[in-house]
Chains A and B, each alone.
Chain A
Amino acid sequence: NAGVTQTPKFRILKIGQSMTLQCTQDMNHNYMYWYRQDPGMGLKLIYYSVGAGITDKGEVPNGYNVSRSTTEDFPLRLELAAPSQTSVYFCASSYGTVGANVLTFGAGSRLTVL
């Protein structure tokens, strides 16, 4: 049972480059999320999705885009990388809303922008 799978685990980008962080879950969860984790800080929500074809902004969406064409996949796109986007990114999923439901997290993707 794979759970939530993120790729790549590590990536170094130059300023202005673009890339996509991939996220796949095999638990048939409706809800999926992208968070970023900066040193000494809690996780901040970038974007989330409540089902295929539906996405919405979180707390820190600027500089990112997402899509949700299938239940399983929720890629995060960085169009013009900036040093402020250096962070660890976590994808997560849940069966229902976060009101009382547990999130299952991927192992994270560490991105450095130079």
Chain B
Amino acid sequence: AQSVTQLDSHVSVSEGTPVLLRCNYSSSYSPSLFWYVQHPNKGLQLLLKYTSAATLVKGINGFEAEFKKSETSFHLTKPSAHMSDAAEYFCVVSDRMDSSYKLIFGSGTRLLVRP
């Protein structure tokens, strides 16, 4: 069965240092992959998506992710963390079921940014 694994439930970084949020997936076909961010008491917002074009995807607020098929990974990175990046991040894969699709959400990674 298709699945998404976010390898860290919590990540803590200092402001100005790099961010790495890890995501591995399993899929039987070429998937679409997404990263969504959820700030406290807010709905989820799209950061970026991969849909079989360039393997390095740039998103909003300086985030980017690289699709690595050989490693079945889609890790999210940012060169320099900002206090406003503190939030929960979800890796999501689009899974084909017969003629339709569904989204499979990872369990989330909470990013803490220390001053």
Contacts and interface: CB of A to CB of B under 8 A. Distances in A.
A97 B100 contact: yes
A83 B49 CA distance: 36
A108 B45 CA distance: 12
Nearest to B99: A97
Contact of A100 (B45, B94, B102): B94
Interface residues of A, number: 20
A41 B45 contact: no
Contact of B32 (A45, A58, A90, A99): A99
Nearest to A56: B100
Given A43-B90, A97-B100, A103 B44 contact: yes
B94 to A, nearest CB: 5
Interface string B36-64: 10000111111001010000000000000
Interface stretch (B11-19, B73-81, B103-111): B103-111
B5 to A, nearest CB: 10
Nearest to B110: A40
B106 A106 contact: no
B102 A41 contact: no
A91 B94 CA distance: 18
Interface in A69-84: none
Given A43-B105, A92-B43, A106-B43, 18 more contacts: A40-B108, A42-B4, A42-B90, A42-B104, A42-B105, A45-B103, A58-B102, A90-B44, A92-B44, A97-B100, A99-B101, A100-B94, A102-B46, A102-B49, A103-B103, A105-B43, A107-B41, A108-B41
Chain A to chain B: the 5 pairs with minimum beta-carbon distance, closest first: A42-B105, A105-B43, A99-B101, A105-B44, A43-B105
5 contacts: A41-B108, A42-B105, A102-B34, A103-B46, A103-B103
